[in-house]
Structure 1
């Protein structure tokens, strides 16, 4: 399983380069996208608009392709090499994007495999919900008991609970 993205990672700019990634804008790469979709989206990503040919030096800062490399490409040397060559006009957008596709696929492959395994196990989600709910209820009971003990309310709570139960029975009793 890939390592999680650090919490201090800023929101990624969308593939269109104009705003943060947003499903409603259609400028996302989803965790559920298949390999062909990821490749298509990366190929269509916004890059340096002033760079009209591969031999023209480009700007890495603010370039969404490089922002994604920074987050998803674990090969720091490759990212540095691509950035250096891009600034010098020695690498084209196609190569930079293809390397990004490889990095994204490396990141997404284990997620896809896990998702497929979960989808194949009918009832797994229901079992997880039931088991999680039961564990949570037990934790809540234990925590409340500890709180009552710490506040010296154990005996008081039991008295209040018994009175409430008697009151409830009287109200429910047929007249």
Structure 2
């Protein structure tokens, strides 16, 4: 399936995107953002953040997991085809200007407004009512706003569930610019992929590591087959001859997202809805599609994993490049705020 195409803009758009480094990426990431990033790197030079400081709230007290996740996500980026010659991949904590700008922007948003953010509310529910929520987690929409604005982002590839974060970023930008009386920070627009929400393997909500209903981009051939075999189809489709439901059928949702032969998928849907097509047939088709997609990704990932020092060196170079842009933005912000005293 083709990735989303950015709208025509008279001035070059600056793309900023990224992931919290909480573990290896999965098919939901691929459908929701990675395909779009692959397309954008051919026309732009995107900034792609490994958001390790934000991930600290997910791994409180175990920073080794965050460090390993930085490497894992970087390996996934390279394995799917993110090219460090075309995309600037950076580690969030290696650009300290992001943290400083985040601190200034925190003063422009209330705790109540953060708690109303639908994306944050959803993640809080996923963590459970009895979880001890850190201040860092609560303020991560502000951190995300700082990442975007420090790197001058104007076009932000996101999943549908992240749209409230873009709205909040623009609220903060407008408030800051009004406060200083000049347009120091840029507003941005969201770019949705064609597959805005990939369901989990169990059909319950979106694919998520936290829910355990995901399929990693590094999955083995056996893991792919096992995942497909367990996928939810239609509980009422009891015999081959009975009509089956397309809506809510996880197998067809995955075929829509990943099968390049859209005409064949349409034919399968028509036959399934009419009756006369077994679940095993559509699952076999999906298994073939996912094996063809994931196998080369898994193999390239294994090659890159043999030299993690080279991967970290690449991340160091990307972080240094991004820091030049962030430092210039921070200088403009502090100048406008009168934060230079000598």
For the criterion TM > 0.5, the same-fold answer is yes
Quote the residue 1:9 is aligned against: 195
Structure 2 partner of 1:104: 290
Is 1:119 aligned to residue 302 of structure 2? no
User: Which stretch shifts more, 131-140 or 20-29?
Assistant: 131-140
Higher relative contact order (CA 8 A, sep 6+): 2
Trace 1:65-80 onto structure 2 (pairs within 5 A).
65-80=251-266
Q: CA deviation at 1:18?
A: 2.6
CA distance in 2, matches of 1:133, 1:28: 30
More helix by share: 1
Which ranges of 4 or more aligned residues in structure 1 deviate by more than 6 Å? none
TM-score, with length taken from structure 2: 0.40
Aligned residue pairs: how many?
153
Shift of the 31–77 alpha-carbon distance from structure 1 to 2, 3 Å rule, reads same
CA displacement at 1:43 relative to structure 2:
0.6
CA deviation profile, 1:31-80 (whole Å, cap 9, x unmatched):
12111101101011111100111121111111111011100111101101
Q: For 1:112-151, what aligned pairs fall within 5 Å after superposition?
A: 112-140=298-326, 143=328
The alpha-carbon deviation at position 140 of structure 1 amounts to 4.5
Greater strand share, structure number: 2
Provide Cα deviations, 1:85-144, integer angstroms capped at 9, x if missing partner. Answer: 111222111110010011112222232132112101230222012211222234446x46
Deviation larger for 5-14 or 49-58:
5-14
1:21 partnered with 2:207: yes
Larger radius of gyration: 1
Cα distance, 1:118–1:51 mapped onto 2, change above 3 Å: same
Q: Please tell me the root mean square deviation across aligned C-alpha atoms, in Å.
A: 2.9
Q: Which runs of 5+ in 2 are unaligned?
A: 4-34, 37-191
The alignment partner of 1:20 has SS state of coil
Whether 1:88 aligns to 2:269 is no
